[in-house]
Amino acid sequence: MKNMNFQVNLQGVIDLLSNHLYSEPGVFIRELLQNGVDAVTARKRLGHTFDEAVKVEIYSSHNISFTDNGCGLTEDEIDQFLARIGGSTKRDDQDSADDFIGQFGVGLLSCFVVSEEIVLITRSALEDDALEWRGKPDGTYSIKKLKRQVPIGTTVYLKAKPEFEEYFEYYRVSELLEKYGQYLPTTIMLVEDKFERTINESKPPWLLDKPEAMAYVEGITYNKPLDIIPLTSLIGGVNGIAHILPYAVSLQDEKKHRVYLKNMLLSDRMNNILPPWAFFVNGIINTNSLRPTASREAFQENDLFFAVRDELGECIKRYLIELADRDPDLFRRIVLIHYASIKTMAVEDDELYALFVRHLRFETSYGELTMAEILRDHKELLVTPTLDEYRQVARVARAQELMVINGGYVHDLDLVRKVTELDEDIKVDILNTLEFANQFEELDLEDKLTAQPFIDQSNALLEDFQCRALVRWFEPADIPVLYNTNQDVNFFRLAEESEQQANALFADVVRVIKDDLYDVPYAKLCFNYNNPMVRKAMEARDPHLRKASIELFYTQALLLGNHPMGPAELRMMNDSLLQFMNRGLDGAEVNR
């Protein structure tokens, strides 16, 4: 018997494995499965004919064994494979590397996380000697030849550390074997007290037809998916499915793609195997070509990885393009459920924009419409940067047969501005609300002369409120006045209020901003000469009555447009209302 030491600080490696490399202690099950399946693969490459199997047996006192009838190990291979971290025998034949799940030769050491000793009995398919290898976490190990004969293959024996006994219980071992090895081609047997069952009897989800896949996903997620998208990548040897989530998800939510390497589960929480824009699906994917990281819980992010991810993204895009024609109702459901996130991604991805924008809905002066409905009848579009600006013009815009779109909701402004990329005949302009009234019909000379005293009086009254008046003829006639402002006007008014209320130092700062950055901007109050009440007010000879009319028109326009009113404007509204009430009551008959 030979007593030797590992060629590494093993205790440090065990700490690295348990606290940093592996996500949970139960991965030792996966590592032993991987080693057993790889050993079977290696023996098949030798041309041997046998009933390939990996048997996991649970004993009393929290002992467990993993047995495979694979190629086994020679003494030289034990020294090379088990004593040198990272020195895997599978590296000797690079041409055949893709036949194996593992690549690093550290998997067996994961057993030290849950066990104080690893005992390995092996017989190589190339030699007759049976060997026993015992390793301990203090860095020592021994090798001895056995006098008894054993079958070709390898058996690993483990006894649980007290704090990890749960991982040696039947229910937990069974759960982990199913999790990692349910779809492996090699038969996986679980045995306890002569009770034996086969773990991997299921058909992999990537080989199911659509109805079977729908039922499978519903069974594991308890939600029926909207649809199933087949995924393939020739360069990555990928087959899989993506199931469309039937509920809205945030772009920040953790993605939970289930990914297999050569039919063994690598991770059920991989977040980067599909493009970031594919937030509305979860994938179940098997690959034969991508390289795992040392933990075998993710893939190396090399050129091949990103090429595969792009190819899988193309599968999803092609499906959506075909679905829009084949099943428009389902396509609309997908858009409706994932609306907010689709808008976000469409802004950033030109292909997704072209795919989705015609199906996105926008608030317009003609009601809520999809972009397809908007473009069907209009090639010239106006869009407002804010919700407040849209509200100022929406009702009047339709009467002028103008298509005005509310760009005040998240991403809507950018989505509308990009629509020119779909068709060079489409024109999109940002609506300048202060110039909006200029397109209304002007008055003839006689009417201008009639209205001018009223406009002059309005300008004098509204100067302190940074508002100037004009008069136009527009539809609908029941709107007497239209108040238009923009962000510059609102900022300037806010700055003035701050200047009046702030201390001297802050007031000086506000004054500098006002004086240096802006010419004084003015809101516009457009009187509708088409409105009978406006006509009467303009023709009134009593200047006090005209003043009250102007004040009431102005404050009512602020209320109807959801504009904030300061103390002076509130007083103005109350005074003008009381004046009209007094006039009305003075002229009314009094009951005695």
Binding-site residue ranges for ATP: 31, 35, 68, 154
Q: Is 513 helix (H, G, I), strand (E, B) or coil?
A: helix
Q: Please say whether the beta carbons of 226 and 334 come within 8 A.
A: yes
Q: Identify the helix (H) or strand (E) that includes residue 123.
A: strand 115-123
- Ramachandran bin of 53, using left for φ above 0, alpha for ψ from -120 to 50, beta for the remaining angles: beta
> Nearest to residue 227, comparing CAs of 240, 213, 238?
213
Strands (E), 169-219: 187-192, 195-198
Q: How many CB atoms lie within 10 A of CB 261?
A: 22
Residue 27 Cα distances to 54, 88, 178, 180, 288, angstroms: 17, 19, 12, 9, 20
Distance, in Å, from the CA atom of 562 to the CA atom of 217, rounded to the nearest integer, reads 49
Q: Please say whether the beta carbons of 365 and 403 come within 8 A.
A: yes
Return the amino acid letter for 450: T
- Helix then strand then coil, in percent of the chain rounded to 5, is 45, 20, 30
Residue 19 has phi, psi (to 5 degrees) of: -100, -15
Check residue 480 and report its DSSP letter. -
HSE-up of 48 (CA within 13 Å, CB side)?
Answer: 19
Q: How many CB atoms lie within 10 A of CB 306?
A: 12
Q: Please say whether the beta carbons of 240 and 284 come within 8 A.
A: yes
For 282-293, give the secondary structure using H, E and C.
EEEEEECCCCEC
Distance, in Å, from the CA atom of 549 to the CA atom of 543, rounded to the nearest integer, reads 10
HSE-up of 233 (CA within 13 Å, CB side)?
Answer: 26
For β-strands 523-528 and 467-472, DSSP reports them as parallel
For 425-443, give the secondary structure using H, E and C.
CCEEEECCHHHHHHHCECC
Distance, in Å, from the CA atom of 241 to the CA atom of 316, rounded to the nearest integer, reads 10
Distance, in Å, from the CA atom of 470 to the CA atom of 442, rounded to the nearest integer, reads 10
Binding site residue list? 31, 35, 68, 154
Measured in whole angstroms, the distance separating CA 374 from the mean position of its chain's CA atoms is: 28
Distance, in Å, from the CA atom of 260 to the CA atom of 238, rounded to the nearest integer, reads 10
* DSSP codes joined into one string, 275-341: -TT-TTEEEEEEESSPPB-TTSSSB--SHHHHHHHHHHHHHHHHHHHHHHHH-HHHHHHHHHHTHHH
Distance, in Å, from the CA atom of 503 to the CA atom of 497, rounded to the nearest integer, reads 12
